[in-house]
């Protein structure tokens, strides 16, 4: 019997300005290219990426798992 996991609904991507150091790793790993270089500065003075969240986000969590500073959270609702 095939068991399928529920598809998560992504409701947001949060970048924590206390921890982001503007390394842009999240920007490079996202297969959907949902990040761009932003203007907003983190508390440390680094330029943070911007997220263009759309229905295209697959919820793969690559961005969250790659962030070395645990500054990024993908917010998801299980259906």
Of the pair 2, 68, the CB lying nearest ligand SF4 is at: 68
Number of residues that bind ligand SF4 (CB under 6 A): 28
Q: What is the largest CA-CA distance in the chain?
A: 53
Which stretches does DSSP call E strand in 1-79? 8-15, 35-41, 47-51, 72-78
DSSP letter at 45 equals: S
Q: Does 12 bind ligand SF4 (CB under 6 A)?
A: no
With CB under 6 A as the contact rule, the residue among 8, 17, 24, 52 that binds ligand SF4 is 24
Q: Does 52 bind ligand SF4 (CB under 6 A)?
A: no
Q: Which of 78, 75, 79 is nearest to 13 (CA)?
A: 75
Contact residues: ligand SF4, CB under 6 A: 13, 15, 20-26, 29-32, 34, 48-49, 57-63, 67, 69, 71-72, 74
């Amino acid at each position: 019997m095939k068991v399928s996991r529920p598809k998560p609904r992504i409701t947001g991507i949060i970048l924590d300005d206390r921890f982001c150091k503007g390394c842009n790793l999240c920007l490079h790993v996202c297969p959907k290219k949902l990040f761009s270089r932003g203007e907003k500065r983190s508390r440390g003075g680094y330029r943070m990426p911007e997220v263009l969240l759309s229905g295209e986000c697959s919820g793969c969590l690559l961005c969250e798992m790659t962030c070395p500073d645990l500054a990024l959270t993908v917010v998801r609702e299980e259906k």
